[in-house]
Amino acid sequence: MHVDLLIRNVRLATLSTKVDAPYGTIDEGLLAVKDGTIAWVGAASEAPRFDSKVELDGAKAWLTPGLIDCHTHLVFAGNRADEFEKRLQGVSYEQIAKKGGGILSTVRATRAASEEELLSSALVRLARLQGEGVTTVEIKSGYGLDEETELRMLRVARELERRVPVTISTTFLGAHALPPEFENNDDYIDFICETILPKLGKEKLCDAVDVFCEGIGFSLEQSGKVFEKACALGLPIKAHAEQLSDLGGAALVAQYRGLSADHLEYLKAEDVAVLKKANAVAVLLPAAFYFLNEKQVPPIQALRDAKVPMAVATDCNPGSAPIASLLTAMNQSCVLFGLTPEEALTGVTRHAAQALNLANQKGVLEAGKDADLVLWEINHPNELSYGINLTKPSRIWFGGNDVSRS
Ligand code: NIG
Ligand code: FE
């Protein structure tokens, strides 16, 4: 068989459920790429004969799927280092938000920034993620809160995909905070549903719709209204749920057959089964937990027992998670939340793909999937969760193209 790229002599962490071994490991592996997708993957001893334009001896390094950061707010202007200082003097994240700081301070900076400014600052953060082997990134709007800026953020997110060899999945998070032009949440939610969402649906600027279902965000009823409209437009939904308190946002996601419920520190036991039943992903964001110095850990053991798919993401944003390192988030998920390194790696590959509705294309090394691949000179995939800034990929392929130096 004629292929474009043949990688021999590698250890494969396929993360595939079809391979019955930890990490879906195939020790003496071989992987062939044709037309940007994985044409064949498996044990070298079982491989058919290939002739290839390009061949690589992996020298027993480990090959994993490209990593997927399934929850970020990567496009924004400014930073919130001043609030970081205030918090260290004893003012809480919620108090800062109530005084018009927090998300609204980033909204002011983002509204004032041009498309070029937003693009160039996001490119810096995206390059950091990409350099760690991240080949798919979800990016939310939500620092505009008016039609013009929300659309600008989403356009910038789409443009990033043209500039960097990564897949970008965009999410509309209009229901992130109440903008100053509106007196109450209900009027703003009506504006989102009647004005912005129909426009986004038409222009295909977002792949999903998110809400901040929280005391300092939007109520269950308001979140439900947004979901109702998103579903009518055929857009999948997800939510920031149970981050600082338990409003029941995760169960609402389940009710609307959403892709994921994210954060979940305050998720109650009975809602774990509800998530499982709806096959929704629990997206864990340990960097936000770390940076806000939270104390309540998500119910990991209950999620694990119920076999709810758990993903791990950076939540990269200026307020609660100023971090552009998915490998660090993996480490934090293990140290702070008690995930195993295998759960952490599954959380940034197979389960992260599911959280973005991309499970058919990405997240595992299986024939037919996109050839987004990362080669690591490590002795075991647990090293990806173990060190902080110790491990970097030695090669990265995006859609079968070597993009190691992009
Ligand atoms: O995921 N919780 C809401 N949104 C972000 C934080 C946004 C901000 O503080 O700017 C989060 O933590
Ligand atoms: Fe977030």
76 CA from centroid of ligand 2 (Å): 13
103 CA from centroid of ligand 1 (Å): 7
85 Cβ contact list (under 8 Å, min separation 6): none
User: pTM of the full predicted structure?
Assistant: 0.98
Considering every ligand atom, which ligand is closest to the CA of 71?
A: 2
* Predicted pLDDT at 406: 67
- At 229-260, the pLDDT tens digits run 999 999 999 999 999 999 999 999 999 999 99
**Residue 106 in contact with ligand 1 by CB distance below 6 A:** yes
CB 242 within 8 A of CB 265: yes
* Predicted pLDDT at 214: 96
**Residue 288 in contact with ligand 1 by CB distance below 6 A:** yes
* Residues linked to residue 398 through DSSP beta bridges, in sequence order: 401
Pocket test for ligand 1, best of 96, 240, 285, 323 (most atoms within 8 A of CB): 240
* Ligand 1 nearest-atom number relative to CA 292: 12
Q: Which residue's alpha carbon is at the smallest distance from atom 8 of ligand 1?
A: 319
Pocket test for ligand 1, best of 106, 218, 317, 332 (most atoms within 8 A of CB): 317
Q: What's the mean per-residue pLDDT of the chain?
A: 97
**Residue 191 in contact with ligand 1 by CB distance below 6 A:** no
How far is C-alpha 312 from the chain's CA centre?
7
**Residue 362 in contact with ligand 1 by CB distance below 6 A:** no
Count CB atoms within 10 A of the CB of residue 223: 28
**Residue 317 in contact with ligand 1 by CB distance below 6 A:** yes
Rg of the chain's alpha carbons, rounded to an integer?
Answer: 21
352 CA from centroid of ligand 1 (Å): 19
348: its two tokens: 């940034």
Angle formed by the axes of helices 103-112 and 147-163, nearest 10°: 70
Considering every ligand atom, which ligand is closest to the CA of 212?
A: 1
- Best CA proximity match to 233, nearest among 281, 260, 199, 279: 199
**Residue 156 in contact with ligand 1 by CB distance below 6 A:** no
315 CA from centroid of ligand 2 (Å): 5
* Ligand 1 nearest-atom number relative to CA 240: 2
Cα atoms in the 13 Å half-sphere on the side-chain side of 257: 7
**Residue 66 in contact with ligand 1 by CB distance below 6 A:** no
- Tell me which residues of the chain have a pLDDT lower than 50: none
Pocket test for ligand 1, best of 320, 323, 332 (most atoms within 8 A of CB): 320
Q: Tell me, what amino acid is at 145?
A: L
d(CA 28, CA 142): 46
* Predicted pLDDT at 201: 83
* Predicted pLDDT at 274: 98
93: its two tokens: 């994240």
Considering every ligand atom, which ligand is closest to the CA of 171?
A: 2
SS (H, E, C) the chain: CEEEEEEEEEEEECCCCCCCCHHHEEEEEEEEEECCEEEEEEEHHHCCCCEEEEEEECCCCEEEECEEECCCCCCCCCCCHHHHHHHHCCCCHHHHHHCCCCHHHHHHHHHHCCHHHHHHHHHHHHHHHHHCCEEEEEEECCCCCCHHHHHHHHHHHHHHHHHCCCEEEEEEEEECCCCCCCCCHHHHHHHHHHHHHHHHHHHCCCCEEEEEECCCCECHHHHHHHHHHHHHCCCCEEEEECCCCCCCHHHHHHHCCCCEEEECCCCCHHHHHHHHHCCCEEEECHHHHHHCCCCCCCCHHHHHHCCCCEEECCCCECCCECCCCHHHHHHHHHHHHCCCHHHHHHHCCHHHHHHCCCCCCCCCCCCCCECCEEEECCCCCCHHHHCCCCCCCCEEEECCEECCCC
Count CB atoms within 10 A of the CB of residue 391: 17
